[in-house]
Amino acid sequence: MKDQSTTTEQIIKQVVITWTSRNKAFSDFFYKYPDQEYLKEVAPGRNRAIYLLGHLIATNDAMIPLFGLGEKLFPEVEVFSGNPDRSFEINASVQELKTKWESLNTVLTTHFSKMTINDWLEKHTAVSTEDFAKDPLRNKLNVLLSRTNHQSYHLGQLNLLSVKELVA
């Protein structure tokens, strides 16, 4: 049996790998079709794919201050977080959002690679010291687990997008 510290590191690595894999699946989706396809809604009357891209940028970007790692990279995308699609005008192209998504992923990957076991088990900045003492599971690892599932949730919806197959 391995020593416990190595075991803990391995488990955290697995959680981070799961994040990375779901993140990559989301990225891959936005490289499958011509940009204009992402202006469509995933189902009648539901969110447009471009909205979901902005929504994921906003949600994931919020991890930076939540982990005490600095300011959000793209505060202008914040509007996608608490507001439904069509309640505001999307002032960015699919290409512009894709560029932000990729930059954000690079920054998050760098941060995550430097985080120690203790960093992951520390409280995030949205929980008070008192509340964290009562529930030590409200840590950064929990945020990552939750955000990983959030990516999967919306990827399931994106994969319903009806795209006419391109004929060569």
Footprint on this chain of a second copy (rule: CB under 8 A): 1, 3-5, 7-8, 10-15, 17-18, 22, 42-46, 117-118, 121, 136-137, 139, 141-142, 145-146, 148-150, 152-157, 160, 162
- 39 vs 75, beta carbon nearer a second copy: 39
- 22 vs 124, beta carbon nearer a second copy: 22
Cα 32–30–15 angle (5° rounding)? Answer: 115
Q: What are phi and psi of 82, to 5 degrees?
A: -100, 0
- 10 vs 83, beta carbon nearer a second copy: 10
Least distance to a second copy, CB of residue 38, Å? 16
Closest residue by Cα to residue 122 from 68, 64, 72: 68
- 70 vs 136, beta carbon nearer a second copy: 136
CB contact set of 98 (below 8 Å; sequence gap of 6+): 30, 53
Least distance to a second copy, CB of residue 20, Å? 12
Evaluate whether 154 touches 52 at the Cβ level (below 8 Å): yes
